[in-house]
C-alpha cells in the first residue's frame, strides 16, 4: 500500500503513521525527518531547506521533491510506504503521481486528519519530541512518565524549533493557504477520507484503519 497523510501541524500524523506502519508493514517517509537529517548532516539541500524551516515556511517544491523521490526509491519503501508531510501543494501532488505511475505504484489512500486551529496550537506549544526514537509527547495530554525523558529509549526530550507560539500560528496559516487545496484534489480522485483527529490516539487509529479498509474495497 501507498498512503498519504494530510492534516495541519499538530494533527498527530506522525503518531498515526507509526501505528499504521506497524500494522501494515510499511515504511514511513516523513519530510520533517528527511529535512532534519539533511540539515543535521549539513548537506547542500539541507542548508537550502533550513532557511525555510527556521521561518516556519514550506520548503520549495523542487528541493522537497528531490528529497522525497530519492527516499521512495530506497529498498524499504519500494513495497509500500506512508507519506507524512508530502505532498503539500498541488504541484508536488502531480509530481508524485507522475513518478509513482511511471513505476507502476499508484496511490492507495489519502487520510485527512482534521483538528481545529485552537487544538493544534495547544498541542504544538506543549509538544516534546524524542531525537532518538522520534516519539512525540505533550506536556498537557500525553506527558512522559519521567519528566524530560523518553519512555521508550530514555533519550532526553527536546522542543522543536518550529513549535514556538508565533511560528506555530504562521505554520497553520501557510497550511490553510497551500495544503488545504489538496483535500479537494484527492477527493475528486476518490482517494481521500476525512478523519476526526481530536479524539484519543487509539480512537483516531481505529478510524484510520476503517477508512483504509473502505478505500481498499473500492479498488
List the catalytic residues.
Answer: 13, 88, 127, 160, 171
Q: How far is Cα 7 from Cα 23, in angstroms, rounded to an integer? A: 21
Q: How far is Cα 36 from Cα 160, in angstroms, rounded to an integer? A: 11
150: three-class secondary structure by DSSP: coil
Q: How far is Cα 96 from Cα 90, in angstroms, rounded to an integer? A: 10
Query: Are 70 and 46 in contact, with CB atoms under 8 Å apart?
Result: no
Closest CA to 89 of 13, 178, 175: 178
C-alpha cell at 119: 487544538
C-alpha cell at 83: 507519506
E strand residue ranges, 131-191: 136-138
Give the distance from CA 132 to its chain's centroid.
18
Closest CA to 103 of 132, 79, 128, 76: 79
Amino acid at each position: 500500500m501507498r498512503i498519504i497523510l494530510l492534516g495541519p501541524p499538530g494533527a498527530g500524523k506522525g503518531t498515526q503513521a507509526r501505528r499504521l506502519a506497524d500494522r501494515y508493514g510499511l515504511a514511513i517517509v516523513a519530510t520533517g525527518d528527511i529535512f532534519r537529517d539533511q540539515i543535521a548532516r549539513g548537506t547542500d539541500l539541507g542548508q537550502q531547506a533550513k532557511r525555510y524551516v527556521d521561518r516556519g515556511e514550506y520548503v520549495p517544491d523542487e528541493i522537497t521533491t528531490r528529497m522525497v523521490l530519492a527516499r521512495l526509491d530506497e529498498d524499504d519503501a519500494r513495497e509500500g510506504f506512508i507519506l507524512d508531510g508530502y505532498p503539500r501543494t498541488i504541484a508536488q501532488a502531480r509530481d508524485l503521481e507522475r513518478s509513482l505511475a511511471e513505476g507502476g505504484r499508484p496511490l492507495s489512500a489519502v487520510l485527512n486528519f482534521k483538528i481545529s486551529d485552537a487544538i493544534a496550537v495547544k498541542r504544538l506549544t506543549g509538544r516534546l519530541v524524542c531525537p532518538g526514537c522520534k516519539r512525540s509527547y505533550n506536556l498537557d495530554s500525553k506527558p512522559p512518565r519521567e519528566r524530560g525523558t523518553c519512555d521508550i529509549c530514555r533519550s532526553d526530550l527536546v522542543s522543536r524549533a518550529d513549535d514556538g507560539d508565533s511560528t506555530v500560528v504562521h505554520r497553520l496559516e501557510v497550511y490553510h493557504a497551500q495544503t488545504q487545496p489538496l483535500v479537494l484534489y484527492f477527493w475528486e480522485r476518490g482517494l481521500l477520507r476525512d478523519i476526526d483527529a481530536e479524539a484519543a490516539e487509539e480512537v483516531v487509529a481505529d478510524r484510520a484503519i476503517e477508512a483504509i479498509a473502505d478505500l481498499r474495497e473500492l479498488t
